[in-house]
Amino acid sequence: MSSNPFLGLVSSAFKNTFVNAIQSLTAEDSLSLPCLLEFEGSAYTACDNCHYDAVNQRSSGRYKTGGPIAFASGQQCPRCNGAGKIPDPASTTSTVQLIVIYDSRRWLPMGSNNLTAQAANGSIQTLSNADTYDDIRRCNTMLANTDVATESTQKYVRAEEPQRLGLGGDEFVLTMWDKV
């Protein structure tokens, strides 16, 4: 009976090298791109465009001097639509570093999805470090590559649950996104 020549080939040192190599690719100054995750607004801040009516718990309909969008007194504030508060940007967005794979021929297989059909719809795949998992799971939409701040920045929604992966661990997150 011959022994398996591949036994012991994948050592813990090899696994560490793999993890370190992929983590270096996801670093901010490497192949990853800054992407903006957008969450359903749950925290609010006072509207910076109108005065708040604490009794009625909404906008008083009076423009706040220095606000971004002037409006006539007694009218609905165009910034908050009369609510008197707006979603707090700090709690409704998060910038994360993602390796964005636009070319479907380079996608890693995942789940039972038809990757060919997704490619035809302008879908993308992202790879990131495990610490992005919770944010990716709870985000509603994602803007890819916010370094290129143009009106043509593409918005995506998660096509399926993100998957943890690694070489014997779960150090990374693989996610499919569909173009909105």
Q: Which of 130, 104, 139 is nearest to 119 (CA)?
A: 104
**pLDDT of res. 134:** 94
Q: Which of 152, 171, 148 is nearest to 34 (CA)?
A: 148
Q: How many CB atoms are located within 10 Å of the residue 145 CB?
A: 17
Cβ atoms 92, 41 nearer than 8 A: yes
From residue 132, alpha-carbon distances to 39, 60, 103, 113, 138 in Å are 14, 40, 22, 22, 10
- Would the pLDDT of 91 be above 60? yes
Q: What is the pLDDT of residues 26-71, one digit of tens each?
A: 888 888 999 999 887 667 788 999 999 989 889 999 999 999 999 9
Of the two residues 41 and 81, the one the predictor is more confident about is 81
Identify the top-confidence range among 7-21, 68-82, 111-125.
Answer: 68-82
Q: How far is CA 148 from the centre of its chain?
A: 16
Q: Roughly how many angstroms between the first and final C-alpha of the chain, as a whole number? A: 58
Q: What is the pLDDT of residues 122-155, one digit of tens each?
A: 889 999 999 999 999 999 899 988 776 555 568 8
Q: Alpha-carbon distance 171 to 19, whole Å?
A: 7
**pLDDT of res. 37:** 92
Tell me what the mean pLDDT of segment 18-23 comes to.
89
Our separate counts of H helices and E strands in the chain read 4, 11
Q: Alpha-carbon distance 66 to 76, whole Å?
A: 17
Q: Which of 24, 75, 29 is nearest to 49 (CA)?
A: 75
- Would the pLDDT of 164 be above 60? yes
Task: Give the three-state DSSP class for 141.
Answer: strand
165: left (phi over 0), alpha (psi -120 to 50) or beta: beta
**pLDDT of res. 150:** 53
